[in-house]
Amino acid sequence: MTSLNEKTCIPCQGGFPPLPMDEKIQLKDQLDPRWSFTNDKKRLSLELACDKFNQPMAIANEIAKVADEQWHHPDLFISFGKLKVDLWTHKIDDLVESDFIFASKIDQILKSHKL
């Protein structure tokens, strides 16, 4: 079975049905446990606390680079020592496999920062 991190995101487009909840849970279980669903279960969210002021910006820049490579762009929120990431497929306002693939790529970035 191919891991999520080895897959490539499908560019954001409409016409895909959202994943059923059981598939969302199964895919989320393959991610860092800090990922959570928003209350409506239509987005993935991750909040990080960082020790250094510039660490959230450095991580966000790495995420932005991968986002452009994968054609899948999360919402990033940066404040002092904190980074919040929200992921979903904008065109269907819900989650598809690409959202989980991208989350796994973010997990790899966090591992490289020992977070």
Question: What confidence score (pLDDT) does residue 48 get?
Answer: 96
Helix (H, G, I), strand (E, B) or coil at 95: coil
How are beta strands 82-87 and 44-49 bridged, if at all? antiparallel
Exposure string for 49-83, b = 16+ CB within 10 A, e = fewer: ebeeeebbeebbebbeebbeebebbbebeeeeeeb
Helix (H, G, I), strand (E, B) or coil at 48: strand
The model's pTM:
0.93
User: What are the structural domain ranges in the chain?
Assistant: 21-112
Question: Mean pLDDT throughout 34-39?
Answer: 98
What's the DSSP call for residue 35?
A: -
49-94 pLDDT, tens digit per residue, is 998 889 999 999 999 999 999 999 999 999 999 999 999 999 999 9
Question: Mean pLDDT throughout 35-40?
Answer: 97
| Domain 21-112 architecture | 2-Layer Sandwich (3.30)
